[in-house]
Structure 1
Amino acid sequence: MNAQASSKLATDYARQLSQFFSTDQLDDWARKTGFIVRARKLSAVGWLKMLLSESANLYHFSLGQECGLLAAQAQIYLKKQSLQERWTPTCIAFLRKVITQLLEQQLGYNSAQLGGPFKRIIIGDSTSFELPACHQNTYKGYGGSSSPSALKIYYEYDLKAGMVIDLQDSHGTHADTRFNRTQQVEAGDLILQDLGFFTYGFYQQV
C-alpha cells in the first residue's frame, strides 16, 4: 500500500472514530490515564491517527516512518527518541480505555430486553495475531514458520450491564484456559465461552 492510499485509509478510520468520540473526550482520557500530562505537540487524536495508518499497512513501521506520518498527517514534528518515549504503560492504559469504550458502544444492548434468572450474562473470547519479530521479548510467538512474536487479547463483556469487565493482553503462546478465574465468577452468572476455555478443573472449582 502506497503512502497516499495509507493516508486516505487512516483518514477514513479517524473519521469513523470521530463518530464515537470527540477530540475533547479523547484528550480527557489521555490526561486521566497519564498519557498526556500537559499541553504538548502530540495530541490523543494525532497519536491514534498514526497508529491507524500503521495498522492500515499491515506491517511494522520504523520510528522514522512513524515520525514521518505524524509530520504529514498532523503537522507534528518529533524526533525518534521523543516518539519512542511515548510508549509507556500510560500509553497502553489510554489505548485500553479507547478500546473498552468502543467495544461498549459497538456491543451496547438494551438490558431491559434481557430477562431470565441470570444476574450477569458474560461473553468471553480471545483473538491473537502475529507481530514483528522485534517484539518477541515482550510478546512471545511460536516461531518456526510463524513470527517469533505474537499477541493475544482477551476480553469479557457483560451483556446485561452493557459493559466490558475485562480486557487483557498476553503472549500469543498462552492458552485460553489461563484466563479462567474462579474468583471472578459470581452466583447467578451465565458465562458463554468456546471450548478452548474448557477444563474440568475450572468447572469443578466453580
Structure 2
Amino acid sequence: MIKENLLEKNMKHIVQEILKVISKEEIEQIARDVGFIKREGKIKAWQFLYLCAFSKLDISKNTLVTMSANLSSTLDLEVSSQAIDQRLNDTAVEFLKEVFTRLMQNNILSNQGVASLWDEHFKRIRIADSTAFQVPEIYKNEYPGSGGNAQISGVKIQLEYELKTGNFMHIDIGPGKGNDNTFGSQIKDTFRPGDLSLRDLGYFSFKGFEDLEKKKAFYVSRLKPNIAVYVKNENVEYYKNGKPRKSTLYKRINLADIANQMSEGEILEINDAFVGRVEKRKERIIIYKLTKKQFVERKEKVEKNAKKKGITKSKNTIELMRITVYISNIKSDVLPNNQIHEIYSLRWQVEIIFKIWKSIFCISAVKPVKIQRFKCQLYGKLILLVLSSIIMFKMRSLLLEKYHLEASEIKSAAIISQYIQKIYLSFMKDHLTSFELLISVFKSIHKNGRKSHRKGKKTFFDILGVCYNNQEKKCNIAA
C-alpha cells in the first residue's frame, strides 16, 4: 500500500502548482489587469469565475435567477439577477480568456509522461484534432457554420494533445467553418526533434510533412483518397536524344484494385512509392484493409456526414473506404508495417477527450442568449476542462507510479467532475485542505476509475508498451 504521508506529499505538490494560476490573489490581479475589476463591487473576480466555470451551471442555459440563488446558497453572496446580467459583458469575456490563456501557458501542464517502449524513438506523441458543435443562429456573424443542412452557426475547437503526458499543448477557438489545415500551419514551429505527429486527413499537407522532416520530427498520416500513388515504371520511353519521357517515368497504382485483392485485416506495404501528380514525393506507403465491421461503421459515418452537407459519395470513393492508406517518414526497422495501423489508432485517445468535454462537462449545451453571455460560458467551460484534465492526468501518472494500474479517462473525469467545485472553493478559501480533497479523488479513482480491459482489445497502455498490471498481463516491476 502507498504510504499516506507520501500520498499527501504528492497532493500538496499538485496544489502548489495549481495555485500558481488558480489562487484568489492571482485571479483578482488578472481581473484588474484586464479592467474587469476597477473598484470594490458586490461580486469579486474569483466569485464570478466560480459562477462561469465551477458552479455546475450553464451560463447560457440556466436563468439569471438560478445563478443568483446559487451564489447565495453556495457563497453567501447576495447579488441581483440584473447585476449578474450587467457583469456578463465584453470585459468579463476578456477576463475569462486571460485566465484560460495563463492556465494553458503555465508550467502546471508539465505532467510527467508515462514510460513506454517508444521513448527511445519518440520524445513526444502529438495529436491534433478538432471538435465542433452547433450554436444558435443569432451567432452566425461571429461563428459561421461549416455549411450544409442546419449548419448555419457553429463553434470549432482545435486541440493539440500530447499523448504520454496528457498535456493540452494548444487550444484554439473559432467558427465552425474554420480550416483544420490552418491550425496545423500555426503550430508547425513548435515541433522538436523526436516528436511524432499522428495526423488526420484534415491536417494533410505535403508542405507540413516537409516542415516536420526539416525539424527531424516524425509523422504518420492517412493519405487522402484523391492523392495519386505511383511506382517507378520499368518500361520508360525515351526521346531520340536519349532523354526519358517524363510522362513514362512513373506508373500510377490503382488502389481500388489492390483493395479487392487484399484480405480483411491484411497490411501491405508498397516499396519505393511516390505521391503527387506533379512533384513526385517519395513516401513510405502502408495499406490496411478494414474488417467488414470496420467498413460498415466507416461507411455509415461518412454517409451521415455527407448527408448533412448535402453531398453524395461516388461508388469509387465508397470502394476506397475499404482500405486505410498511411504515409510515414518512420523507417520500417523502427515502426514495422504491422504496427502502423495500431500506433495510428492512438489518435482515438483525443476522441475520448472530446467525449468527456461534451458528455460529462456539456460544453456543447447552448441556448440563444446575448453573445457576451455565451462567450462567458464557453471560456468558463474551457477553464473547467483544462483544470479538470490537469488533475485527471496527474492522477493517472500517480496511479501508474504507485499501483502500476491504468486509469480510465472517462471514469476519472466523471469522478473529478463531482469534486471540482469543492476543489476550486478550497483553493479560494483554505487551500491548506485542498490536498485532502485530492487524496479523496485519488482513492476514488483507484477504487472505481480503473480502465476496463476487453478481451482481444488493446488499451492505450498496451499499444505504447507501458508496463502495468491487469488481470491478463503482469509486468515484472519492482514494488
CA RMSD of aligned residues (A): 3.5
Larger of the two Rg values belongs to structure: 2
CA contact under 8 A between 1:120 and 1:190: conserved in structure 2? yes
Following superposition, the deviation at residue 111 of structure 1 comes to: 3.4
Alignment of 1:190-205 (within 5 A): 190-205=196-211
Distance, in Å, in 2 between the alignment partners of 1:97 and 1:149 is 28
The corresponding residue for 2:120 is 116
Q: Give the whole-Å Cα distance in 1 for the aligned partners of 2:25 and 2:151.
A: 36
Aligned residue number for residue 68 of structure 1? 65
Structure 2, unpaired ranges of 5+: 1-17, 73-78, 213-479
Rounded Cα–Cα distance in structure 2 between residues aligned with 1:69 and 1:96: 28
Distance 1:45 1:98 in 2: 15
Residue 146 (str. 1) matches residue 153 (str. 2): no
The TM-score normalised by the length of structure 1 is 0.65
Where does structure 1 lack aligned partners over 5 or more consecutive residues? 1-20
Q: Measure, in 1, the Cα distance between the counterparts of 2:135 and 2:65.
A: 21
Structure 2 residue identity aligned to 1:71: S
**Does structure 2 conserve the Cα–Cα contact (< 8 Å) formed by 1:131 and 1:149?**
yes
> What's the secondary structure of 1:141's corresponding residue?
coil
Match of 1:186 among 180, 188, 192: 192
More RCO (CA 8 Å, sep 6+):
2
Residue deviations 1:15-43 (CA, integer Å, cap 9, x gap): xxxxxx89x93645533543764764151
Q: CA–CA distance in 1 between the matches of 2:25 and 2:114?
A: 28
Quote the residue 2:221 is aligned against.
none
Residue correspondences, number: 174
Cα contact 1:111–1:162 (8 A) shared by 2 = no
2:133 maps to 1:136: no
Structure 1 residue 192: Cα displacement: 1.8
- The offset of 1:150, in angstroms, is 0.7
Q: Please say if residues 109 and 159 of structure 1, whose CA atoms lie closer than 8 Å, have aligned partners that are also in contact.
A: no
Distance 1:160 1:61, change over 3 A: closer
Deviation at 1:141, TM superposition (A): 0.9
**Deviation, structure 1 residue 142:** 3.4
In 2 relative to 1, CA 54–161 (structure 1 residues): closer, same or farther, beyond 3 Å?
closer
Following the alignment from structure 1 to structure 2, what is the Cα–Cα distance between the partners of residues 198 and 144? 23
**Once structures 1 and 2 are overlaid, which stretch shifts more, 145-154 or 111-120?**
111-120
2:93: which partner in 1? Answer: 88
Q: Residues 28-39 of structure 1: matches in 2 within 5 Å?
A: 28=25, 30-31=27-28, 33-34=30-31, 37=37
Relative distance call for 1:145 and 1:165 in structure 2 (3 A) is same
SS, match of residue 190 in structure 1: strand
CA distance in 2, matches of 1:193, 1:32: 39
User: Comparing 155-164 with 175-184, which one deviates more in the overlay?
Assistant: 155-164
Per the normalisation by structure 2, the TM-score is 0.31
